[in-house]
Amino acid sequence: MRSVSLGFRSSAQPAQRCGAFLCLAWLTGLVALSSSPSARADQCLLANGGQLQGKRVDDAKDAAAPYIIALDSGGTVTLEARQIREWRRPHPAQAEYERRVRETPHTAEAQWELAEWCRQHGLHEAREAHLLLILQLDTDHREARHALGYSQVGGQWVHPRRHHEEAGYVRYQGKWRTPQEVQLIQEREDRENAARQWRRQLQRWRSDLVSSRPERARAAYDAFQQIDDPHAIDPLTALILSEPLRPLKILFVRCLAAIPHDRAVHQLIYVSLTEPDIEVFHECIDLVVDRRSPETVPTYIQALRNIHNVRVNRAAYALRKLNDPQAIGPLIEALQTRHMVVLEPAKQPGQTTTTFVRPNNAAAQKVMDAAANNLQGSAFSTGDEPVSTYVTVPNQHVLQALVDMSGVSFGYDQAAWRRWHAAQRQQRPSSIASRRDEQ
């Protein structure tokens, strides 16, 4: 290899000079090793940190079979698969590259052609080394600069890494991110990892609860009682919803309620609205009322607008238990709600069946049945496709909550309830003013 004057400019950074020498040393070492057979031999990286050079001579079809390796230094060695961390074979283009690198002149143009050849053949580390060498031969080589990721800012070449680092960004998961964003990602990953561990642990304890061995069942029961990690909230919620046995559901609900975190209350509310078992629903409501989180009443108020009629009535039942005056207005608006009825074509001509989330009261069921009967025999209800329509459903639990909380009753007459509520709000400021005057 000819000696080359790299011609550093006085303005070159120390790191650039260091990179140039390392690059040249890497290429020099590669050429020196290219004549050695070991440069093209397979590499066997051992689990203990060592490595061997040679060829595998046994039948390699069975991955678990022992490795019989013919060493470049002579002789053979037999290794178990567990003793080998990685088996590396030389790149198919390695031999051709070694020939080219010896014959390529040390000019920017020739090195660029070799770098492009490396790119086309997947020799990425070699390509980067040649690109770095090009910048020492021609610091303004535009193609090499762009290939290394540089861009011009204010007439100077700036590498994205340096630009982003000076702006306070860090490289994480293949992207430049702010430290705050990295922290959020890491916290989310920690939560997901903890949740996965809790899911596995809860399933093991659940299996032990129904074990025929009393000591295992008792240990699992005690373990459930001691759960206080917020990371267990979502896995425990999923366990409740998937559990077929009512006694275990209630046990898990109580364990969820005992976790000292607001999200535990949020998930209890979710279970109370979605769990089909009515006994579990009542257990959830009692526990939610005991906790009285600041988000409880607003969450149930929001559920009054749910598309499922059952959830509307369950939310009203919970608000009746909570007895918070801020729920009266939303309850009035939820006295009658619109829900979809789906008419399925029946086997007999001219007949239909109704598909609907079944309500909690007979009055609502009558409304649905009447809607279905009104559509019977129409051109839309006797075809082969389901027909959808909306019906207005009176909600019994909403009315009961209003009656209990207000002490008056106007039935399902929303207009009368609205007038009464407006009058109550007008009286409230005057009563407050009267109390101030008395003081």
More confident residue, 14 or 75: 75
Lookup: tokens for 210: 């129904």
The confidence score (pLDDT) of residue 114 equals 93
Q: Does domain 14-172 have CATH number 2.30.30.100?
A: yes
Q: Concatenate the DSSP letters of all residues of 257-291 into one string.
A: HTS-SHHHHHHHHHHHHH-S-HHHHHHHHHHHHHH
Residue type, 436: R
* Helix or strand run (H / E) with residue 228: none
Please state, for a pLDDT cut of 70, what percent of the chain lies above it. 76
The confidence score (pLDDT) of residue 430 equals 52
Among candidates 166, 236, 229, which has minimal Cα distance to 199? 236
Among candidates 336, 375, 371, which has minimal Cα distance to 356? 371
The confidence score (pLDDT) of residue 69 equals 82
The confidence score (pLDDT) of residue 202 equals 96
User: pLDDT band at residue 359, thresholds of 50, 70 and 90?
Assistant: very low
Interacting residues of 146 by C-beta distance below 8 A, sequence separation 6+: none
User: pLDDT band at residue 49, thresholds of 50, 70 and 90?
Assistant: confident
Among candidates 318, 395, 307, 320, which has minimal Cα distance to 357? 307
pLDDT of 30 higher than 60: no
The confidence score (pLDDT) of residue 417 equals 96
Q: 153 phi and psi, to 5 degrees? A: -130, 115
Beta-strand runs (E) in 47-138: 51-56, 67-71, 76-79, 84-88
Q: What number of CA atoms fall less than 13 Å from residue 300's CA on the CB side?
A: 33
pLDDT of 203 higher than 90: yes
β-sheet bridge partners, residue 310: none
The confidence score (pLDDT) of residue 410 equals 95
What CA–CA distances, in Å, run from 65 to 56, 75, 78, 82, 237?
A: 12, 20, 10, 10, 46
Interacting residues of 237 by C-beta distance below 8 A, sequence separation 6+: 256, 267, 270, 271
The confidence score (pLDDT) of residue 22 equals 46
Chain-centroid distance of CA 263 in Å reads 17
Please state, for a pLDDT cut of 90, what percent of the chain lies above it. 46
The confidence score (pLDDT) of residue 10 equals 33
pLDDT digits (tens, 9 = 90+) for 158-176: 777 776 776 788 888 878 7
